[in-house]
């Protein structure tokens, strides 16, 4: 019998609860615990081992795989860099209730939640989240550290840059580009390209703020 991969989950909030549920169903994964700067005790029957300063000790003890269970893209980026610097490898959390086409290309450290659909030749970058009932159609490209919130719909050939947050129910028509680290408000409908570092809302989506 093959030994299980021991994994530490970084984060213990609501997003982490969903990740724990997904990873518990993976027969090859053994969740050893979570880390959090403030919380103590247990989350979803998993012990909170301490804050992030314990990561080096865990790695040196032989626990060398992690999952960053943080919904905020910027925080997830920071913690991913910290864990990678220590040496951690990242596992994926893919719900058995999601559909992922055999030709889809998946990065590492990604979350694909129940009801999500990833169609043919779609590409999902490292550390990205495809949340509950989100749909990524054929040939879409999602950069690293993105978050497609519940109910997002990406039509075919959409291109989503690094660090983009797509709010609940956002819809992106086919072939549209959204620039890096932009934010789409809940329910936005994207019918024109969105540049980098923008906040866009509404139907159709319009830019209300832009930053460097």
Residues 6+ apart with CB under 8 A from 81: none
Residues of the chain with CATH 3.40.50.20: 5-91
Cα separations in angstroms, 153 against 62, 96, 146, 148, 189: 40, 20, 14, 9, 10
Region 34-58 average pLDDT? 93
Mean pLDDT calculated for residue range 83-101? 98
Is 138 annotated as catalytic? yes
* Every domain range in the chain assigned CATH 2.160.10.10: 94-199
Q: What is the mean pLDDT of residues 35-50?
A: 91
Lowest mean pLDDT among 37-51, 79-93, 123-137, 150-164: 37-51
Catalytic residue (one of 65, 89, 138, 177): 138
| CATH code for the domain defined by 94-199 | 2.160.10.10
| Arithmetic mean of pLDDT, 145-162 | 99
Distances (CA, A) of 1 to 27, 28, 29, 65: 12, 11, 14, 20
% of residues, the chain, pLDDT over 70: 99
CATH number of 5-91: 3.40.50.20
Can you give the pLDDT at residue 3?
86
Angle value at C-alpha 93, between 178 and 33, nearest 5 degrees: 125
Predicted structure pTM score: 0.96
Backbone angles phi, psi at 50, to 5 degrees: 145, -165
- What is the per-residue pLDDT for 1? 53
- Contact by Cβ (8 Å): 113, 130: yes
Instruction: Output the furthest CA–CA distance in the chain (Å, rounded).
Output: 56
Residue 176 has pLDDT above 90, yes or no: yes
Peptide bond into 204 cis (omega under 30): yes
Are 115 and 98 in contact by the 8 Å Cβ rule? The answer is: yes
Kindly report the number of other CB atoms within 10 A of residue 74's CB atom.
Answer: 12
Q: Is 163 helix (H, G, I), strand (E, B) or coil?
A: coil
The DSSP symbol for 4 reads P
């Amino acid at each position: 019998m093959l030994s299980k991969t021991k994994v530490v989950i970084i984060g213990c909030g609501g997003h982490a609860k969903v990740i724990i549920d997904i990873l518990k169903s993976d027969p090859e994964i053994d969740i050893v615990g979570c880390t959090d700067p403030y919380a103590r005790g247990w989350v979803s029957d998993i012990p909170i081992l301490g804050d992030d300063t314990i990561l080096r000790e865990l790695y040196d003890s032989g626990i060398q795989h992690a999952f960053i269970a943080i919904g905020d893209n910027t925080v997830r980026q920071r913690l991913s860099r910290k864990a990678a610097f220590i040496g951690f490898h990242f596992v994926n959390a893919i719900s058995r209730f999601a559909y992922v086409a055999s030709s889809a290309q998946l990065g590492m450290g990604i979350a694909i939640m129940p009801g999500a659909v990833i169609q043919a030749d779609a590409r999902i970058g490292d550390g990205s989240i495809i949340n509950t009932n989100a749909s990524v159609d054929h040939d879409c490209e999602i950069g690293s550290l993105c978050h497609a919130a519940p109910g997002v719909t990406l039509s075919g050939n959409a291109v989503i840059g690094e660090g983009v947050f797509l709010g609940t129910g956002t819809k992106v028509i086919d072939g549209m580009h959204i620039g890096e680290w932009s934010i789409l408000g809940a329910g936005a409908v994207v019918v024109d390209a969105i540049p980098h570092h923008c906040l866009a809302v509404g139907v159709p989506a319009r830019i209300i703020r832009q930053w460097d």
